[in-house]
Amino acid sequence: MFFKSLDELKNILENSGTTIICLEEGGKVGNEVFSFDNLKKDLGETFIIDEYTIEKVREIITLTSTKAINPRFFIFKNAEKFPEVTQNAALKLLEEPKENYHFSLFTSSPEALLPTIRSRSLIYAPLRKNSLETPREAEKDIFETAKRLLVAKNDEIYTIAEELHKKKDSKEISKRDFTLKVLETTIDLAEKSYFKTKNEAFTKKINGLILAHDTIKKNGIIRLQIVANLV
């Protein structure tokens, strides 16, 4: 799912149990610069977490063990630094938040979080504008592949992943860059489709596309990441 302005974050966090926000301090949303201090002023009773130890998780579990009359917000900064063992310790806390408790993990690398946490969270990212840049030499192939990927069912996703895996580098563009452009184009098409139809199936697909794109950009295996995040 997407937000166009930082003003929307307060409403998103207030109406969600656990969220993953694909944004870091200093990141820009339009012309606005994100700040945790400003977010804390907007929310009220807020705890900013930037220490990821078992002891800190136990402390949060204790803080959330009683019934809350008013909303309480736990904001995790740079959540990609959350070690897997500590994520596992916090799993029940994040999967089943009690009434009036809200957990938000802010990160530019949501793929660093456990799949079980991602699957139980609402994932939000700033709406990207003018993000579509495709080289003229590859434009037709990129758009045709993106259109197929946008509506692909599982069997077709496997086929497309295999095609991209086997694609050869060309003088104009490498296989990896071609794949990234396909994913960027598919995200762009999915965003436009969502805002035109309000069909939430597109937002679910966008989350997987973003995760696949960001991991492949960091040298992840093309075929594996497309299948893992879209099937």
Can you tell me the distance from the alpha carbon of 203 to that of 187, in angstroms, rounded to the nearest whole number?
Answer: 9
Lookup: tokens for 16: 């969600």
Can you tell me the distance from the alpha carbon of 9 to that of 179, in angstroms, rounded to the nearest whole number?
Answer: 31
Question: Do residues 42 and 71 lie in contact, with contact meaning Cβ atoms separated by under 8 Å?
Answer: no
DSSP per residue over the chain, as a string?
-EESSTHHHHHHHHT-SEEEE---TT-EETTEE--HHHHHHHHSSEEEE----HHHHHHHHHHTSS--SS-EEEEETTGGG--HHHHHHHHHHHHSPPTTEEEEEE-S-GGGS-HHHHHHSEEEEEPPSS-----GGGHHHHHHHHHHHHH--HHHHHHHHHHHHHPPP-SS--HHHHHHHHHHHHHHHHHHHHHHH--HHHHHHHHHHHHHHHHHHTT--HHHHHHHHH-
Nearest to 15 by CA among 69, 93, 55, 71: 71
Q: Which of 75, 91, 126 is the last residue of a domain?
A: 126
Residue 222 domain flag: yes
Q: Which of 126, 148, 179 is the last residue of a domain?
A: 126
Overall number of domains in the chain: 2
Instruction: Judge if 96 and 155 occupy the same domain.
Output: no
Q: Which residue has the higher pLDDT, 152 or 127?
A: 152
CB atoms within 10 A of CB 165: 15
Nearest to 77 by CA among 120, 117, 25: 25
Instruction: Judge if 114 and 143 occupy the same domain.
Output: no
Phi, psi (deg, nearest 5) at residue 182:
-60, -45
The pTM for the full model equals 0.63
Lookup: tokens for 131: 């993000």
Instruction: Judge if 122 and 145 occupy the same domain.
Output: no
Instruction: Judge if 112 and 193 occupy the same domain.
Output: no
pLDDT digits (tens, 9 = 90+) for 190-231: 877 876 776 777 777 887 888 899 889 889 999 999 999 998
Residue 104 domain flag: yes
Residue numbers of the domain that contains 191: 136-230
Instruction: Judge if 144 and 92 occupy the same domain.
Output: no
Instruction: List 73's β-bridge partners, or say none.
Output: 46, 102
Instruction: Judge if 44 and 144 occupy the same domain.
Output: no
Across all residues in the chain, what is the average pLDDT? 87
Compute the average pLDDT of residues 42-59.
93
Instruction: Judge if 69 and 23 occupy the same domain.
Output: yes
| Residue 205 confidence (pLDDT) | 82
Whether 82 shows a pLDDT value over 70: the answer reads: yes
b (16+ CB within 10 A) / e for 42-59: ebeebeebeebeeeebee
Instruction: Judge if 220 and 142 occupy the same domain.
Output: yes
| Residue 175 confidence (pLDDT) | 95
Whether 126 shows a pLDDT value over 70: the answer reads: yes
Residue 131 domain flag: no
pLDDT digits (tens, 9 = 90+) for 1-32: 778 889 899 999 999 999 999 888 898 888 88
Report the CATH number that the domain containing residue 46 is assigned in CATH.
3.40.50.300
